[in-house]
Structure 1
Amino acid sequence: MDTVFGGAFVTMRRYAKPLFGLALLVNLALAVLVAAAAAVAYVAVSDHLHAIQDTPRDPRWADFRPVLLAFGGVWLFAAVGLTAASAFVQASCAATLHDAVLGRRATLRQIWRRTWPRTPSVLCVTLLLGLILMIPLLLFVATIVSLFLAMVLGSDLAYGVFFLLMLTALPLAAWLWVLFGFAPAAAVLETARPVEALRRSVRLVRGAWWRTFGITLLGGLTTLVLSLVIRLPLTFMTPSPRPYDPSSPTAPDAADALAQSLPHAGAYLALSVAGSLVTQLFTMVFLPLISALLYIDQRIRREGLADVLLRAAQSSGASGSVHE
């Protein structure tokens, strides 16, 4: 565990530019695209928005429907974009780690060129894993339904079904997530196709599930602690706005009260966005690094990958591929 966590932090320190630089560029590009999509959606349905807000009559479904479709499309576009961005960052982490274990320098341009061709494979792995995880998700939905029926009907049988489904859905989701967790690294470092990457992950995790689960869980807890360390001080540092009482004779106008609170709100918003960005970048880079390091560690333990890496590092003209 110390080797994996230490390797992740050392890699982030020595290869900060390609790791965090690419993650930052991808997130900024996604933010610009989503903002542009939202602006287009707003312009497209602005008449309907004005009809909803300014018309004295009750809004009609004919006004709501275009607005819901437009901004629902923006949300869908953002979700797809975030999935693709996460796949790209996962691929870039594995590609950077390839040079890190060989002791080579890696520039942002080199990692970009190596990452881009493998991103579709990692994206397909992510989508396939999402489909696989639909099984525990459906069980979880059934759990919620059984709890609702238990509360409405007061049936002991419904409560029993709720606890049974809960005990099944969560462990199954965790088991599947860990079982296929090495697939993105295999898709990049072995140039494996999506289905083959999933199979490779199953073969490598078999017999080491609990170790993989424990280290992955600690990685998730680490990101949670970092998020709390960043967000809690911001929460306590935010000044509480003075209560606004319009009936008081000394109370300022509503516009003046809003203007007085804007500087504090603007500063808090800027700090909050900066903190969220730092947390997002750390999470996007740290967790894939942990997974890729566990993948390499398992291959070293089972397949003698250390000898291959040593020969590749000592060979001045070798490509250093880890899929030998």
Structure 2
Amino acid sequence: MTDGAEKHSGQNQVPATPDAAQPEQPAAPAQPPYGQPGYGQQPPQPQYGEYAQAPYGQPAWGQPDWQQPGMQQPVMGAPGWTPPPKPGIIPLRPLSFGTLLGAPFQMLKRNPKATFGSALLIQGIVGVATIAAIVPFTLWIVGRVDNASVADQSEVIAGSVGLGILVGVVLFAVSLLASALLQGVIVLEAARATLGEKLTLGALWKRVLPRVLPLVGWLLLLGIGFTLALAFLVLIAVLIFAQGEGFLGLGIAYSVLAGIGLLVLSVWIYTKTLLVPCAIVLERLGIFAAVRRSWVLVRGAFWKVFGVNLLVAVIVNTIAQIVTAPLSILVGFGTTILDPNGSGDQVAFLIITNGLVLLVTIIIGAVASVVQSGTIAFLYIDRRIRTEALDLDLQRAVEARESGTEAADPYLPADRLSPATA
């Protein structure tokens, strides 16, 4: 035996007799010297990236189950979350506050020709019509008054005021018609963009034109209602002040409270009827039916509808002020800086700068109209998703379109569908 074996025997205090019956032990592999791997003397070792097989058929520590024969298992973990379908610019689910704020701008970016183009065209027509009517009319009136005799000047001025009111009414009607058309176009574009459709400017106008008159009627009804309420409150204030100086304090207090009350009432009615244009265009309802429809949809969500609409208006107006303020300053001080002596170049400068301000104002107004009308449309869609599960109807319409089959208009309520499309 070797010296190592003798030492080992001595430590265990077993006499090393050759006749001692010892059970046969499996030969242990020779140990390599310290620090040197015993290559060639060990059983085959696994390569890098493999795992050694543990004895007794047990899996080695850290060995994944999928590497064991016959034990393949799926990856552990909860099933993955599937986002809602999004065929267009918004997901078909109840819309969050951020989505409601961003959707109008996405719509403007997605189809600028139909949205911004329509707004710019309509705003431009109204602006040109206003200038073309007011400037010649003003020059004509001034000429008439200057050429009239002293005895006839009063009659000429009175007639001019009457004609001025008539021109103002015509311009108001043109502006009202333009606003109704633009609002209908943007509402329809938002509804179709939700389904992933991208209509041209001509296609949008063609679909909206049959609904323009109800939209005009609604805007006119709003204006008349506010005017009558204001006139009634003013009449009461006049009657109070007419009682004499002793009622001065009462008249002032009444005027303040009446003004606040009219403001609160106007905001409340405006918010409750904010979705009327959407019901007129998308559901093809009449004015009063659309008012009832909007009243029902806004129920329970007044502050959300009010807050989103107000915040978008504040954002748009702030951007408009930031853009137009430098131009206004330029017009105010540029004349003195560039033409301190008052030469003829001052007139040319004023014409150029005022024309630039008008152009920028039209562009900003077009963007603001698109964004604010789009906000109303997406609020309408959100309210119908939350109260009527409109998202399911929209999803079915998208699936039918992709399969090539004809589907009913998802925005029409079931009781208004024709038998052919129901």
Listed as ranges, the matches of 1:16-31 within 5 Å are 16-31=112-127
- Structure of greater Rg: 2
Q: Which residue of 2 aligns with 1:94?
A: 187
Question: Within 1, Cα distance between the matches of 2:347 and 2:117?
Answer: 32
Q: Is the 8 A contact 2:104 2:370 kept in 1?
A: no
| Amino acid across the alignment from 1:309 | L
Question: Within 2, Cα distance between the matches of 1:126 and 1:4?
Answer: 24
Question: Within 1, Cα distance between the matches of 2:242 and 2:304?
Answer: 38
Q: Is the 8 A contact 2:328 2:357 kept in 1?
A: no
Question: Within 2, Cα distance between the matches of 1:279 and 1:146?
Answer: 43
Cα distance, 1:233–1:39 mapped onto 2, change above 3 Å: closer
Q: 2:202 aligns with which of 78, 99, 109?
A: 109
Query: How far is the alpha carbon of 1:111 from its aligned partner?
Result: 0.5
Cα distance, 1:143–1:296 mapped onto 2, change above 3 Å: farther
- Aligned residue pair count: 310
User: Secondary structure in 2 aligned to 1:241?
Assistant: helix
Question: Within 1, Cα distance between the matches of 2:240 and 2:373?
Answer: 35
CA RMSD of the aligned region, Å? 2.8
Q: Which residue of 1 aligns with 2:306?
A: 213
| Amino acid across the alignment from 1:308 | D
Identical-pair percentage:
25
Q: 2:215 aligns with which of 107, 111, 122?
A: 122
Question: Within 2, Cα distance between the matches of 1:186 and 1:74?
Answer: 32
Q: Is the 8 A contact 1:143 1:162 kept in 2?
A: no
Q: Is the 8 A contact 1:150 1:156 kept in 2?
A: no
Q: Is the 8 A contact 1:34 1:74 kept in 2?
A: no
Q: Which residue of 1 aligns with 2:385?
A: 300
TM norm structure 1: 0.85
Query: How far is the alpha carbon of 1:49 from its aligned partner?
Result: 4.0
Cα distance, 1:170–1:140 mapped onto 2, change above 3 Å: farther
Q: 1:313 aligns with which of 398, 406, 414?
A: 398
Query: How far is the alpha carbon of 1:60 from its aligned partner?
Result: 1.9
Question: Within 2, Cα distance between the matches of 1:298 and 1:128?
Answer: 24
For the pair 1:165 / 2:258, whether they are aligned, the reply is yes
Q: Is the 8 A contact 1:18 1:107 kept in 2?
A: yes
Query: How far is the alpha carbon of 1:320 from its aligned partner?
Result: 3.9
Q: Is the 8 A contact 1:121 1:194 kept in 2?
A: yes
Question: Within 2, Cα distance between the matches of 1:58 and 1:268?
Answer: 41
Question: Within 1, Cα distance between the matches of 2:246 and 2:367?
Answer: 46
Query: How far is the alpha carbon of 1:267 from its aligned partner?
Result: 2.8
For the pair 1:230 / 2:296, whether they are aligned, the reply is no
Higher mean displacement: 140-149 or 219-228 = 140-149
For the pair 1:241 / 2:332, whether they are aligned, the reply is no
Higher mean displacement: 136-145 or 206-215 = 136-145
TM norm structure 2: 0.66
Question: Within 2, Cα distance between the matches of 1:266 and 1:15?
Answer: 34
Q: Is the 8 A contact 1:19 1:285 kept in 2?
A: yes
Listed as ranges, the matches of 1:248-263 within 5 Å are 257-263=342-348
User: Secondary structure in 1 aligned to 2:366?
Assistant: helix
Q: Is the 8 A contact 2:241 2:248 kept in 1?
A: no
Question: Within 2, Cα distance between the matches of 1:235 and 1:148?
Answer: 40
Structure 1, unmatched stretches of 5+, are 244-250
- 1:269-314 superposed Cα distances (whole Å, 9 cap, x missing partner): 1221122111211222111111111111000000000001111112
Q: Is the 8 A contact 1:125 1:198 kept in 2?
A: no
